[in-house]
């Protein structure tokens, strides 16, 4: 007799719970839906072939015994509208990044007049390609560049870029390069409508959950004592690449939103600097608009690079 989904779900949940997995029931549903190639909503009505049940049991035991991230075990992570292939060596996309992407899609300015027929969007520290590929999926006319230096992450990025191109999305240009290099993409200087980034930003002394600290690549997580070392070097690169009026968005640790705002303010080439919170109410990403000359740009009326809220916060 073919086992039904509820009985398999109960078995998987028990296995995961006994292994110390906190969200055992939710993960059991994810595992079984992946094994069946169906949605979680359809599980209540699903029969489970024996070989699919065994695959689900294997994944659940692996998760319970190793505490390796479930996304690595299943080989995929949900990224907003898309699924990303992931595995050891690449940062796992988080739901918070979707907030940054949504903001960018809503705020994207028009292409630079006389230069580009399409918006140029650059994803710095691209990792698995989440930001770049989400933008290319949502904006088929955009010219999207994904910049990543780490060789292991690049393998996942190229795999995901090829998958999305085969699915019909506009191909993304993958650049194997250091996102903090002052000479990065010189042909795009002053042309980008948007520069977006989810860089390494965890303070080096932070206490992370074991399954993150033990499995995800440190090069994608940590960025110096304050967590701002990479962001500090990204800001001038973004400023050079952006057209006047282009947007910048950068994810950060929830402890250093004010510090990232201050970095942008010190640079002096950005206006409308704003902090944004994630769904849990924690500071999560900062956005800004490139302004190449405050004194001459009438849209800004000589405004301070920080907006009124940040000026009050910093006593300015």
What is the domain-level CATH number for residue 55? 1.10.8
pTM of the complete model beyond 0.85: yes
d(CA 130, CA 156): 11
Q: Are residues 47 and 120 in the same domain?
A: no
Bridge-based pairing state of the strands 242-251 and 192-197: parallel
CA distance 82 to 146: 16
Quick one: which of 35, 32, 39, 34 has its CA closest to 16? 32
**What's 279-315 look like in SS3?**
CCCCEEEEEEEECCCCCCCCCCCCCCCECHHHHHHCC
Low-confidence ranges of the chain (pLDDT < 70): 1-2, 112-117, 294-316
Cα gap 249→232, rounded to integer Å:
13
132 contacts 154 by C-beta, under 8 angstroms: no
Are residues 11 and 145 part of one domain? no
The answer on 29 and 145 residing in a single domain is no
Please report the pLDDT score of residue 111 as a whole number: 75
pLDDT at 205: 87
pLDDT the model gives residue 311: 38
Number of domains in the chain: 2
What pLDDT is stored for residue 300 in this prediction?
Answer: 33
pLDDT, position 316: 32
Q: Is 20 left (phi over 0), alpha (psi -120 to 50) or beta?
A: left
Q: Give the structural domain span for 21.
A: 5-66
Average pLDDT, the chain: 90
Are residues 51 and 84 both part of a single domain? Answer: no
């Amino acid at each position: 007799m073919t086992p039904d989904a509820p009985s398999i779900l109960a078995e998987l949940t028990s296995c995961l719970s006994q292994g110390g997995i906190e969200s055992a029931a939710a993960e059991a549903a994810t595992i079984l839906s992946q094994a069946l190639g169906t949605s979680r909503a359809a599980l209540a009505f699903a029969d489970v072939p024996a070989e699919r049940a065994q695959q689900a049991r294997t994944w659940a035991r692996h998760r319970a015994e190793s505490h390796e991230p479930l996304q690595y075990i299943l080989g995929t992570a949900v990224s907003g509208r898309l699924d990303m292939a992931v595995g050891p060596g690449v940062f796992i996309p988080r739901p918070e990044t979707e907030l940054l992407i949504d903001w960018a899609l809503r705020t994207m300015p028009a292409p630079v007049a006389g230069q580009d027929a399409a918006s140029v969007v650059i994803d710095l520290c691209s990792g698995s390609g989440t930001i770049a590929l989400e933008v290319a999926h949502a904006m088929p006319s955009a010219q999207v560049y994904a910049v990543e230096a780490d060789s292991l992450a690049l393998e996942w990025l190229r795999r995901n870029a090829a998958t999305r191109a085969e699915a019909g999305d506009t191909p993304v240009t993958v650049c194997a390069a250091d996102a903090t290099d002052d000479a990065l993409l010189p042909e795009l200087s002053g042309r980008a409508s948007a520069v977006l980034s989810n860089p390494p930003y965890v303070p080096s002394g932070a206490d992370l959950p074991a399954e993150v600290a033990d499995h995800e690549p440190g090069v994608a997580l940590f960025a110096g004592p304050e967590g701002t070392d990479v962001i500090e070097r990204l800001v001038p690169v973004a400023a050079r690449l952006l057209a006047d009026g282009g947007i910048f968005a950068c994810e950060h640790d929830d402890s250093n939103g004010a510090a990232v705002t201050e970095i942008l303010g010190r640079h002096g080439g950005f206006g409308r600097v704003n902090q944004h919170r994630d769904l849990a109410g924690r500071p999560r990403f900062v956005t800004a608009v490139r302004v190449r000359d405050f004194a001459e740009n009438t849209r800004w009326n000589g405004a301070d690079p920080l907006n009124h809220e940040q000026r009050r916060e910093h006593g300015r």
